[in-house]
Structure 1
Amino acid sequence: MPIRFLAPAVLILALSSFSQTFAEFPTAEDWPNWRGPLHTGEANPEQNPPVNWSNSENIAWTSRVLGKGHGSPIIVGDQIVLATSDDEAEIRFLVSYDRSTGEQSWITPIHSGNATPPRNEKGTQASATPACDGERIYINFLHDGAAWTSAVSLDGEILWQTRITPYTVHQGYGSSPFLFGDLVIVSADNKSGGAIAGLNRSNGEIVWKHQRPKKPNYSSPVVYQTSGSDQLLMTGCDLVTSLNPQTGEVNWEIEGATTECVTTTVATNGLIYASGGYPKNHLSAVRTDGSGEVVWENGTRVYVPSMLIKDDRLYAVTDAGVAMCWDALTGDEIWKGRLGGTFSSSPILIDDKIYATNEEGLTYVFLASPDELQLLAKNQLGEICFASPAVSHDQLFIRYGEMVDGKRQEFLACISTSEN
């Protein structure tokens, strides 16, 4: 049953009256999943959020978030939805906020007890981003020593829950679900021997499952149309892997990545890009035609933040805070420039502008330009940020944290120049 309100120490159960009718989904105003509507970190055209903001400037509203998590918000019609975890109570939740006001619409416990805490101090129990198809919201969590996928209605009712595979924590878990056809595709690479699986979106039944090596890895699955077909692409476990997204059958697979990858790969012109950070720093471009050809590679550490592509240029912000631009086809470095700080969230591309937020809550806005690093703005919000932003028209949504009475308090902010 969804929870309507959370007091600091009391959970009050109630059904939500919120409902949403989708004539068409996703619309240009939706950011329905990890990395946005195009699955690449790029916003749809004509989005125009602010370039400048602060704790007091261009903030339409802020709302407190229970517990903590590094999963990004998604935009679903009039709802903003994110995953979070109350570690003391050992409860993992989905939370919905009213897009116009920031008021909490509903909060639904997905799993209680039997928590599987991360071992990395930067990890959380809610590091995945939900995905929505206009009818259901899907989310991945660890629970009772396994990875689970759950489906929730638009008003917060749990519809089904499916155990995917046993999970042994090495660092943590943050793989996000991907929607393709009538399937929700999920992954859970880990030292127990993980899996990539395609589940029936209506009932959660496992349609296919592809077993993975017994190695830790953190990438999320993504499907691109490349080299003449739809390919489900994964990096990590020392592999670059292409599966048929409908059946889970292997299209091709090569040794072409490091063991541990976090980024979600991007693709262009028959190439995908594998980047990892353990046991070595590695960035490579691999052909998607099954030839196994590694077109170019270098030793840049783009371990956690996912990359962007625009006009055959590959843009990245390294973990150490350096913005970089390469020729996506040849790997030739075009420019690089230091931003500052450490980055875990992934940058997003809005028209010709890249928004990248470091772990201290400082967002750099710079041009996606092949000429040089052209910084447009630096915007401070809070003190902590690991989640990637979401955008819709003139609104930018950022999950951030502040230290309050010695404890981390998270917030969701709507950044906009216009009044609601």
Structure 2
Amino acid sequence: MSSHCRLSLSACLLILLAGCGKRTPVETVSPETSGVEFAERSLAHLDGEWPGWRGLDHNGVAVNCSVPTSWGEDQAIRWRVPVPGRGHSSPTVVEDRIYLATATDQPDQQSILAYDRESGEQLWKTIISEGGFPPAGQMHSKSTHANGTVACDGERVFGAFLHHDKVLAYGLDAATGDLDWTQELGAFNSKFGYAPSPVLYHSLVIFAADNQGGGYLAALDHETGGIAWRIERAAVSSYSSPTVASVGGRDQLLIPGTGYVTSYDPRSGEQLWQTLGTAEATCGTVVTSADAIFASGGFPQKQTVAFSPAGQLLWSSRTSLYEPSLIALDGYLYGVTDNGIACCWNQTDGQELWKERLQGGFSASPVACGDHILVSNLQGDTYVFKADPSSYQEVAVNKLGTDCYASPAIVGNQLFLRVGIGSGNARREELICIEVPSPSPTEADAPISQVIP
């Protein structure tokens, strides 16, 4: 046998052992046959809250907020509490509670936790699965078994986890942590783990699960967990969360990855359009303006793109953000690449207005409060800079912990961070509340630390 044949056989064997050849048909479900009826439901009570990944509108922009620009180990910290295990799940904040997903090894468990917003006290912890984690060869070195951020509508907390070669979704009572329902979404052939976060839409909770065995999107009823619709996507591993935005006069469910940016009707799962763009694998979430759609990715291709509401390409840049998501604000687009290049583009024509090298690598996505942008790097530094198209204007660099993978959450005058402390087997995680200090009567006229209006 020739050396070429032996190498080819060896390569095939490695692929099969890695599970790349395993394909699982996706059982599609239509709204007509599911027996689950769509119902319009107002989520207006969540205005000003942070009910899931990147906030209410999934764009990382906080409203009616006022948080410090400077903090440290002994400055502007309201409280800090331990988080068991490890996860990249970002804080979800609704009313007086904070929700997180996490996972532990030995024993292998995935859990959802609730904390008191006032004090940081852990209110409940619900173990939702045990065992069945993908082997190390099917996980990225950065990945965890609790990557996705949970969503909360005030009544229930929703999350999805990969275990036993499947993705399962869960609905928990937000007050007690009691499990209301469990729903299997489908098989999942892991390459690097499972990452997407759910999105709330009227009576539905929508989940993505792009994977090399056969990808899919599924919408569940928020009360029962019944599958309202499920559609098939390409058999390609990608990691972006879906988003729903009103663009071009209609609601669109938007997701990048598998080499395309694709739009669906969130009520039915019907594909509206699909356009080549970004990359095969993406992690970032689409952001929008009133009349444009922006996406970036990823691997192996590198592209940031803008589309019309109907999917026509408006402009393209060879700069790309793989893990972090973009910020669209006041006619401009801001982002920080994985290797720490902060960029600003004009939304209309894609002109690059400035770029600046920051220190370190970045996995977390930026958030905006007023005219400031905040983003944390993998060394535990949170950069604060002006959302100004004229130039990069750094306000502060704040250190907490030794790493930060999770994205910040902002509600009112409070900023929430999930950080790692230490390294190796000694590494642990904390949830930290950073707050604008309330001056005492005797300090009312004294200057306080700079605050983002």
In structure 1, the residue matched to 2:410 is 391
What is the CA–CA distance in structure 2 between the aligned matches of 1:288 and 1:340, rounded to whole Å? Answer: 36
> What TM-score results when the alignment is normalised by the length of structure 1?
0.91
> Contact (CA 8 Å) 1:184, 1:201: kept in 2 or not?
yes
Which structure 2 residues correspond to residues 3-402 of structure 1 after superposition, within 5 A?
26-45=45-64, 47-116=65-134, 119-154=139-174, 155-289=176-310, 292-402=311-421
The residue type equivalent to 1:72 in the other structure is: S
| Distance in 2, Cα, partners of 1:272 & 1:62 | 37
Partner of 1:10: none
Aligned to 1:9: none
Give the conservation status (yes or no) of the 8 Å contact 1:29–1:77: no
Contact 1:51 1:377 in 2 (8 A): yes
Q: Once the 2 structures are TM-superposed, how far is the Cα of residue 419 of structure 1 from its aligned partner?
A: 6.0
Q: Would you say the 8 A contact 1:322–1:337 is kept in 2?
A: yes
Q: Which moved more, 1:113-122 or 1:75-84?
A: 113-122
Looking at structure 2, the residues matched to 103 and 277 of structure 1 have their Cα atoms a distance apart, in angstroms, of 38
Is the CA contact 1:236–1:261 (under 8 Å) kept in the aligned structure 2? yes
Amino acid of the residue matched to residue 313 of structure 1?
Y
1:288, CA displacement in angstroms?
A: 2.0
Q: Distance in 2 between matches of 1:95 and 1:418?
A: 27
Check the 8 A contact 1:319/1:342 in 2, yes or no: yes
Could you list the per-position Cα deviations for residues 283-341 of structure 1 after superposition, in whole angstroms to 9, with x for gaps in the alignment? 1112222xx42111121121110000111100001111111100011000011111111
**CA distance, structure 2, for counterparts of residue 356 and residue 318 of structure 1:** 11
Kept after mapping to 2: 8 A contact 1:55/1:381: yes
Following the alignment from structure 1 to structure 2, what is the Cα–Cα distance between the partners of residues 24 and 297?
34
Between the aligned partners of 2:102 and 2:351, the Cα distance in structure 1 is 40
Conserved 8 A contact 2:46-2:153: no
Contact 2:277 2:303 survives alignment (8 Å)? no
Shift in Å, 1:404: 6.6
Whole-Å Cα distance in 2 between the matches of residues 324 and 256 of structure 1?
Answer: 19
> Which whole-Å CA distance do the structure 1 matches of 2:437 and 2:406 have between them?
24
Structure 1 match to 2:442: none
Contact persistence 1:60–1:419 (CA under 8 A): no
Structure 2: which amino acid aligns with 1:323? A
**8 Å contact from structure 1 (residues 257, 276) kept in 2:** yes
Deviation at 1:223, TM superposition (A): 0.7
Q: Matched residue of 1:110: which SS?
A: strand
Shift of 1:405: 8.1
Match of 1:26, SS?
helix
Conserved 8 A contact 1:25-1:134: no
TM-score (norm 2): 0.85
Report the AA paired with residue 122 of structure 2.
Answer: Q
Q: Residue 14 of structure 1 aligns with which residue? A: none
Cα contact 1:26–1:32 (8 A) shared by 2? no
Which residue does the alignment assign to 1:8? none
1:26–1:37 contact (8 Å) kept in structure 2: no
Superposition deviation, residue 44 in structure 1: 1.0
The alpha carbon displacement at 1:172 in A equals 1.6
Residues 394 and 416, structure 1, Cα contact 8 Å, conserved in 2: yes
Provide the C-alpha distance between the structure 1 equivalents of 2:162 and 2:265, rounded to a whole number of angstroms.
26
| Unaligned ranges ≥5, structure 1 | 1-22
**Which of the pair is proportionally richer in helix?**
2
Percent identical pairs in the alignment equals: 39
Structure 1 letter corresponding to 2:199: F
Alpha-carbon shift at residue 269 of structure 1 (Å): 3.9
Cα offsets for 1:353-388 (capped at 9, x unmatched): 000100111000000001100100110000010000
The CA distance in 2 between the partners of 1:225 and 1:419, in whole Å, is 38
Distance in 2 (CA, whole Å) between partners of 1:29 and 1:296 is 33
Give how far 1:50 is off: 0.9
- Contact kept, 8 Å, 2:246 with 2:290, in 1: the verdict is no
Greater CA radius of gyration, 1 or 2?
2
Q: 1:220 to 1:404 in 2, by over 3 A?
A: closer
- Cα separation, 2, equivalents of 1:419 and 1:130: 30
1:405/1:222 CA distance change after superposition, 3 Å: closer
CA RMSD of aligned residues (A): 1.6
Structure with the largest fraction of strand: 1
Return the alpha-carbon distance in structure 1 between the equivalents of residues 119 and 189 of structure 2: 40
TM-superposed deviation, 1:272: 1.2
Instruction: State the 1:24 CA deviation.
Output: 8.3
1:61-91 Cα shifts (integer Å, max 9, x gaps): 1100100000101111111110000122110
Q: Is the 8 A contact 1:188 1:195 kept in 2?
A: yes
Q: Secondary structure at the match of 1:240?
A: strand
Aligned residues: 395
- Deviation for aligned residue 1:271: 1.9
* Range 404-413 or range 179-188, more displaced: 404-413
